[in-house]
């Protein structure tokens, strides 16, 4: 069970506020010293994980973890808890935390932190709470206060695991920068935070151009290079998405949701494409909300000949035509065909579907049909 869920359930059972909190180690030691003085029976190191003390305001504090500078606690704000209730909560926490600690045995500290952070992000995504800021216990380490570039990497290879994490970390630090942070989410899925200086470096390389490269163009260039490196040197088939720079401390969950949605839309509407950019998928995001039955019905009603889009030549022609803003000359040049050949293909499509993509209204309709057709065709 996720941490957020069991805290909520415990709060519901006890019918009182329950929350995680942190104390400086000095304050914690003072609380323990007061306890020793009042009880005259217990040494400071006798307080172990899951054990509890009464805080200065009367709330009960259960010990979760003692770090070098901070102590993680679970605070239960109820005036009267029976001795049996206290002991039951203490025992349950001790068992849960022991299992959690066991799962991280033998893992380096940096990877353990990344996995804890990833687990927390995953919990928030499952709960649909995308606006949650990072808890204190996870923001005390790392470089999450600076603006960083978020990437989401999803591997299509079957094998994954800790060895892959180490190899991925080494590759990314070499390709991007030493400041990169790799956060495992689901199996074969990683959130990658790269330094914002990557954008400046990419723009410097394009300084010879008359027009300065935009941030989106720089991000596209960076993610393209990253995908080429990963697919050729390590991970094989994979999908990558990138978003505008963020401050991870406040928006790491929401951007993870955005990037996951971006890859979902990219894989659904643009088969064969491995790089997905959220600022290019607004129409796909809208169409994805349409129920499956309505998509099929729309395509059937809009097309005179449903199989007109089955021809690979027509599909390639239309995708290139729309990618180049419906420019006939540029499309012909891109497809290495004569302009008249392209016009012949468009006339043929008009004859079969009664839709002329050189007219704005029909072009919009064909673009929507094309996106929906590719999705409904696979279902």
Q: Which two tokens stand for residue 200?
A: 């400046």
| Helix 360-378, helix 248-269: angle, nearest 10 | 90
The pLDDT assigned to 79 comes to 72
Per-residue exposure over 262-294, b if at least 16 CB sit within 10 Å of its own CB, e if not: bbbbbbbbbeeebbbbbeebeebeebbeeeeee
pLDDT tens, residue by residue, 169-180: 888 888 877 778
C-alpha closest to that of 149 among 212, 203, 219:
219
Q: Which residue has the higher pLDDT, 308 or 56?
A: 56
Instruction: Please report which confidence band the pLDDT of residue 278 belongs to, taking 50, 70 and 90 as the band edges.
Output: very high
pLDDT tens, residue by residue, 21-48: 878 888 888 877 776 666 555 554 556 7
> Worst-scoring range by mean pLDDT, 109-123, 144-158, 258-272, 304-318?
304-318
Q: How far apart are CA 178 and CA 195, in angstroms?
A: 9
The pLDDT assigned to 169 comes to 84
Q: Tell me how long the chain is.
A: 379
Q: What helix, strand, coil percent values describe the chain, rounded to 5?
A: 55, 15, 30
pLDDT tens, residue by residue, 135-154: 777 775 557 778 899 999 99
Q: Which residue has the higher pLDDT, 53 or 335?
A: 335
Question: Which H helix or E strand runs over 296?
Answer: helix 292-302
The pLDDT assigned to 283 comes to 92
The pLDDT assigned to 84 comes to 86
Sequence-distant (≥ 6) Cβ neighbours of residue 190 within 8 angstroms: 152, 153, 165, 168, 182, 183, 184
Instruction: Please report which confidence band the pLDDT of residue 254 belongs to, taking 50, 70 and 90 as the band edges.
Output: very high
What are the sequence ranges of the domains in the chain? 4-102, 109-279, 290-377
Q: Which residue has the higher pLDDT, 156 or 328?
A: 328
Residue 256 has pLDDT above 90, yes or no: yes
Question: Which H helix or E strand runs over 75?
Answer: strand 70-76
The class (CATH top level) of 109-279 is alpha beta
In order of 124, 214, 228, 282, the CA distances from 202 in angstroms are 33, 10, 16, 26
The pLDDT assigned to 102 comes to 66
Helix segments in 104-233, DSSP class H: 109-127, 136-139, 162-175, 197-205, 215-233
| Helix 83-103, helix 3-14: angle, nearest 10 | 180
Sequence-distant (≥ 6) Cβ neighbours of residue 86 within 8 angstroms: 52, 60
The pLDDT assigned to 107 comes to 75
With a pLDDT cut of 90, the percent of the chain lying above it is 25
Per-residue exposure over 1-37, b if at least 16 CB sit within 10 Å of its own CB, e if not: eebbeeeeebeeeeebebeebbbeeeebeebbeebee
**Which CATH number is associated with domain 4-102?**
3.30.450
Q: How far apart are CA 362 and CA 153, in angstroms?
A: 36
| Averaged pLDDT score across all residues of the chain | 82
Which segment, 95-109, 135-149, 168-182, 326-340, is predicted with the most confidence on average?
326-340
Residue 307 has pLDDT above 70, yes or no: no
The pLDDT assigned to 255 comes to 94
The pLDDT assigned to 211 comes to 66
C-alpha closest to that of 256 among 73, 119, 97:
119
The pLDDT assigned to 141 comes to 58
List the beta bridge partners of residue 149: 194
For the entire predicted model, the pTM comes to: 0.72
Residue 163 has pLDDT above 60, yes or no: no
Q: Which two tokens stand for residue 67?
A: 């770090």
Q: Which residue has the higher pLDDT, 61 or 256?
A: 256
> Worst-scoring range by mean pLDDT, 112-116, 240-244, 355-359?
112-116
The class (CATH top level) of 290-377 is mainly alpha
């Amino acid at each position: 069970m996720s941490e957020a869920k069991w805290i909520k359930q415990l709060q519901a059972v006890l019918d009182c506020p329950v929350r995680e909190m942190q104390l400086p180690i000095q304050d914690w030691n003072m609380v323990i010293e007061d306890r020793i003085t009042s009880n005259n029976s217990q040494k400071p190191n006798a307080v172990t994980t899951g054990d509890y003390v009464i805080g200065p305001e009367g709330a009960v504090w259960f010990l979760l973890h003692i770090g070098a500078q901070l102590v993680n606690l679970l605070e239960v704000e109820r005036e009267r808890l029976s001795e049996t209730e206290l002991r039951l909560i203490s025992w349950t926490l001790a068992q849960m935390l022991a299992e959690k600690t066991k799962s991280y045995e033998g893992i380096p500290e940096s990877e353990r932190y990344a996995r804890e952070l990833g687990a927390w992000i995953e919990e928030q995504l499952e709960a649909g709470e995308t606006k949650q800021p990072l808890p204190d216990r996870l923001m005390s380490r790392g470089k999450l206060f600076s603006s960083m570039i978020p990437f989401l990497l999803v591997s299509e290879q079957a094998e994954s695991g800790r060895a892959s994490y180490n190899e991925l970390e080494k590759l990314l630090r070499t390709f991007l920068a030493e400041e990169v942070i790799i956060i495992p989410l689901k199996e074969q899925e990683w959130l990658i935070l790269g330094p914002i200086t990557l954008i400046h470096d990419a723009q410097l390389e394009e300084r010879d151009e008359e027009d300065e490269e935009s941030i989106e163009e720089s991000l596209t260039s960076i993610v393209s290079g990253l995908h080429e490196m990963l697919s050729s040197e390590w991970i094989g088939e994979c999908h990558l998405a990138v978003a505008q720079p963020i401050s991870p401390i406040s928006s790491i969950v929401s951007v993870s949701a955005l990037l996951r949605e971006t890859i979902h839309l990219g894989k659904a509407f643009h088969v064969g494409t491995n790089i997905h950019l959220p600022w290019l998928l607004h129409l796909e995001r809208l169409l994805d909300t349409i129920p499956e039955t309505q998509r099929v019905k729309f395509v059937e009603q809009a097309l005179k000949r449903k199989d007109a889009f089955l021809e690979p030549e027509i599909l390639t022609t239309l995708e290139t035509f729309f990618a180049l803003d419906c420019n006939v000359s540029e499309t012909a040049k891109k497809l290495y065909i004569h302009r008249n050949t392209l016009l012949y293909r468009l006339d043929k499509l008009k004859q079969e579907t009664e839709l002329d993509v050189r007219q704005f209204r029909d072009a919009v309709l064909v673009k929507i049909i094309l996106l929906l057709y590719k999705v409904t065709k696979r279902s």
